[in-house]
């Protein structure tokens, strides 16, 4: 799966609040970095994704760029009447994220 499709399918899963589908895009050895927090266990990543599903109503991807196996994008996030953008980066191998970083 190419990087653009992987990123879009992740956010499709989050938009329909399908945690299991979202988790399928993370490799068993994936690392998620959010500020000072670093999640290296699948159950930690699952908890972080579940939190995102519970906290936010809608996601869209924009400003997508890819170089080799590294992708960067901006996630437009809607929570109630609030909208904000967040820049992210992912390293992808074999159709899954091995790193997923909130920049």
**Total domain count for the chain?**
1
- Give residue-wise pLDDT tens across range 20-79: 999 999 999 999 999 999 999 999 999 999 999 999 999 999 999 999 999 999 999 999
CATH number, domain with residue 43? 3.10.450.50
Question: What is the pTM assigned to this prediction?
Answer: 0.94
What's the rounded Cα separation, in Å, for the pair 37 and 103?
Answer: 12
What's the rounded Cα separation, in Å, for the pair 81 and 83?
Answer: 7
Q: What is the predicted pLDDT for the residue at 1?
A: 76
> Which range marks the domain in which residue 87 is found?
3-102
Identify the CA nearest to 84 among candidates 60, 53, 48, 103: 60
What's the rounded Cα separation, in Å, for the pair 47 and 45?
Answer: 5
């Amino acid at each position: 799966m190419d990087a653009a499709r992987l990123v879009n399918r992740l956010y499709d899963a989050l938009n329909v609040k399908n945690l299991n589908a979202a988790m399928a895009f993370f490799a068993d050895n994936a690392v998620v970095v959010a500020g000072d927090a670093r999640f290296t266990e699948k159950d930690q990543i699952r908890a972080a994704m579940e939190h995102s599903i519970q906290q936010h109503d809608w996601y869209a991807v924009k400003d997508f760029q890819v170089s080799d196996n590294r992708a960067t994008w901006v996630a437009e996030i809607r929570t109630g009447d609030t909208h904000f953008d967040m820049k992210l980066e992912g390293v992808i191998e074999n159709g899954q994220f091995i790193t997923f970083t909130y920049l």
